[in-house]
Every structure is written in C-alpha cells, then in structure tokens.
Amino acid sequence: MKNLGFETIARSMWKAQNEAKVIDALSSFLMTEEYDQYEPKAQTLVNMLYGRGYVIAPRKPATANIGEVLPELKKYKDHPIVDSVRERLNQLYVASILLASSDLGDHGFRSIVYDVLNEERPNGVATEALEVRMLEQEAKLIEEDLREAGYQLVSRVPSASLIERLINQTVKNSAIAIVFGEDPERIGEMCRTMIEHERVH
C-alpha cells in the first residue's frame, strides 16, 4: 500500500467535511489529529474506482527499482545491461501515465471521483444543491491534492488506442524499442503490470 496516496485522499476528505479552504496552523493540527478517521472512506473510494476500471497511480514510479516488476529481469540481476533496461521501464511507465491521464480530459478526474463519492453516499445520491456542492468540493480537493502530491487517475487496463499512441510517440525508434521491441501486446502487458504494481491499493 502506498500510504502517501491514502493519506492525501483522507486529508482531502477531512478538509472538505470541515470546509478548511485555507490550512492555517490550527486546522493543520486538527487535520493531522483527525484525518485518519477518513481512511476507511478513502479505501472505499479507491476500491470503487478500481471496480470501475480506474486506479490512482504516481506519475513517477514510487518503487525505486521499477524493473523488479518484470520477473525476467531477476535472473539478470547483476548484469550491467539491467540498469539500462530499468531506466527504459521508468520512461515507459511515465509516458504511459501521461498519455492515460490525457484521455480523461480536463475535468474527467474530478467528475469520476464525484460520481463515485455520490454513489457511495449512505443516504443515496445527492439531490439538493447544498449536498451536490459539498460533493463537488470534496472531489475537487481530492483531485487537486492528489495531483499536487504527484498522483494521477488512470485506467488500470490501457486501451489499444493508448498503447498505439504510446508506441508511436514514445517507443518507436527509441532506446525503449531497442530493448523491448514495438509489439503492442508486449508493451501493453508491461504497462498493465507496472500500473498494477504502483497503484494505491
């Protein structure tokens, strides 16, 4: 579990519920003391996003050695070329997250989070203006705080069109292609494996 991602979501939820638009010394102290109460709700949000086909993942891999996610590298652990391979994997991961985030559009991240929060309301979906505004504020804070902390909402299974763009824009004729080739199925599987490994869960 990537604790920073959960803490970020829980803190955002605390701010929304307490209308803490400006974090001063007092509210910062209270948030530090109380935000863990929102971690179950943060877990529910993450689980529901996953059920809808989305994950929250760091824009740069949180794992120091992203190469560890590929079993075939383990037998070459001490080979000099492995460092180069790991570097290419990092490049592939970062590029895939960047392209995946662009698929959501300017407000896709926020609207998806809003829909999930609304669906999870104990009293049913929000119908009154005040309830809607509260949920909109919560979704906005979660999106903004996660972005600031270096996280992004992406599809957990990259689409065929995304993989095609990834190959054309990042992989083709690059050092990545020299190491991994340009086969969409192989590139797609590596991206899915890395995103699943890195996601907040």
The structure tokens listed for 113 are 């989070």
pLDDT(2) > 60: no
The DSSP element (H or E) to which 199 belongs, if any, is: none
Cα gap 141→21, rounded to integer Å: 9
Cα gap 69→193, rounded to integer Å: 7
pLDDT(98) > 60: yes
Q: Mean pLDDT lowest for which of 78-87, 139-148, 183-192?
A: 78-87
Torsion of CA 9, 10, 12, 17, to 10 degrees: 140
Q: Mean pLDDT lowest for which of 13-17, 79-83, 110-114, 146-150?
A: 79-83
pLDDT(25) > 90: no
Predicted TM-score (pTM) of the model is 0.85
Nearest to 54 by CA among 142, 181, 184: 142
CA atoms within 13 A on the CB side of 30: 13
Per the model's pLDDT, the better-predicted residue between 154 and 12 turns out to be: 154
- The conformation of residue 183, written as its DSSP 8-state character, comes to -
Q: Sorting pLDDT into bands at 50, 70 and 90, what band is 66?
A: confident
pLDDT of residue 52: 93
pLDDT(23) > 70: no
pLDDT of residue 78: 65
Residue with tokens 């699943």: 196
